[in-house]
Amino acid sequence: KQEVTQIPAALSVPEGENLVLNCSFTDSAIYNLQWFRQDPGKGLTSLLLIQSSQREQTSGRLNASLDKSSGRSTLYIAASQPGDSATYLCAVRLIFSNFGNEKLTFGTGTRLTIIP
Amino acid sequence: DAGVIQSPRHEVTEMGQEVTLRCKPISGHDYLFWYRQTMMRGLELLIYFNNNVPIDDSGMPEDRFSAKMPNASFSTLKIQPSEPRDSAVYFCASSPTGNNEKLFFGSGTQLSVL
C-alpha cells in the first residue's frame, strides 16, 4: 500500500526566504506526483504536476522535483511571501490500481506560515 | 464557471441523525470524486463516479455511507446513522477525465456530529 509522508507538519519562515517542502512515498511505481495548495476553509488547488518520466516542473516562484528511485519529491518556493501561507499537500498516482489510474494517495500536508 | 459547488458549507448534527451532503460538479466533467479529510488520516478517497456510474467505492468506510449520482450535475453523499467519528471535512471534486491533471475541488462541507 502506497504511503505518502510530509515532514515537517508545520513550518514558519520569515518573508523573503527561500524554502523547501518535502514529500516521500513508499511505492516508486508512480504515474505522476502532484503538489496542491489548500487555504483555510477552501478546497485544494493544483500547483504542479510531475510525470514519472520528468525530473522537475516549474511555475513562477515554485519548482517541484521528483526522484522516483529514492521515493522523494520537493517543492521549492523562492522569495516567500505572506500570501504563500497555506497547507501544501503532495499526492501520488500509482501506475496500477484496482480500478484504473484514477486513485490519488495524499500526504497529510505541511502547514506553511510566512512571517511578514 | 462557478466551479464545484458543495452544500451545506457547515453541518452540525446529533449522533444517529441522517446527514446528506450535496455536490454540483463543473459542467462537462465526467468524473466526480468524494473525499474525506481528517487530521489523523489526511485526505482519503471515498468513492468516485464516471458518467454517473460508481466505479470505485472501496474507500467508503461502512454501510452507513452511501453515495448517488442521479444525473451529470448532481451527487449526494449520505450518512445514516451518523456517528461522532464521522466528523470531518468532506470534499467533492470533478474532472473532465480520469486523469488527475485536471482535478477541481469544491470548498468542502465541515461536518460535526455531536
Residues in chain A: 116
Three-state SS letters, chain A: CCCEECCCCEEEEECCCCEEEEEEECCCCEEEEEEEEECCCCCEEEEEEEECCCCEEEECCEEEEEECCCCEEEEEECCCCHHHCEEEEEEEEECCCCCCCCCEEECCCEEEEEEC
pLDDT tens, position by position, A69-100 = 999 999 999 999 999 999 999 999 877 655 54
Tens of pLDDT, residues B14-51: 999 999 999 999 999 999 999 999 988 889 999 999 99
pLDDT value of residue B1? 66
| pLDDT score of A31 | 87
Task: Give A1-35 pLDDT, tens digit per residue.
Answer: 788 999 999 999 999 999 999 999 998 888 899 99
pLDDT value for B10: 97
pLDDT digits (tens, 9 = 90+) for A28-77: 888 899 999 999 988 999 999 999 999 999 999 999 999 999 999 999 99
Distances (CA, A) of B83 to A37, B3, B11, B37: 30, 30, 13, 16
Grid cell for residue B28: 462537462
Cα gap B26→B29, rounded to integer Å: 6
Check residue B9 and report its DSSP letter.
S
Residues 6+ apart with CB under 8 A from A99: B55, B56, B58
Q: Which residues of B touch A (CB under 8 A)?
A: 4, 31, 33, 42-45, 48, 55-56, 58, 91, 93, 98-101, 103-108
Q: What does the pLDDT read at residue A96?
A: 60
Contact: B56, A89; criterion CB under 8 Å: no
What are the helix and strand counts (H, E) for chain B?
0, 11
- In this prediction, residue A101 carries a pLDDT of 46
B36-63 residues labelled b (16+ CB within 10 A) or e (exposed): bbeeeebbebbbbbbeeebbbbebbeee
Instruction: Give the β-pairing of A104-106 and A72-77.
Output: unpaired
Cβ-contact A84, A112 below 8 angstroms = yes
Cis peptide before B8 (omega within 30 of 0): yes
Asked whether A77 and A22 are in contact (CB, 8 A), the reply is no
Report residue B68's pLDDT band, with 50, 70 and 90 as the boundaries: very high
Considering only CB atoms, which chain A residues are within 8 Å of B42?
89, 106-109
What is the arithmetic mean of pLDDT over B95-105? 83
Residues of A in contact with B99 (CB under 8 A): 101-102
- Top pLDDT among B101 and B110 is at B110
Q: CB B4 to CB A98 under 8 A?
A: no
* Predicted local distance difference test score (pLDDT) of residue A95: 73
Residues of B in contact with A32 (CB under 8 A): 100-101
The alpha carbon of residue A43 is apart from the nearest alpha carbon of chain B, in Å, by 4
Question: Mean of the per-residue pLDDT values for chain B?
Answer: 93
If one compares A102 and B95, the residue with the highest pLDDT of the two is B95
Q: State residue A2's pLDDT score.
A: 82
Q: Number of Cβ pairs closer than 8 Å across A and B?
A: 58
Nearest residue on chain A to B105, judged by CA atoms?
Answer: A43
d(CA B49, CA B47): 7
Q: What is the pLDDT of residue A100?
A: 47
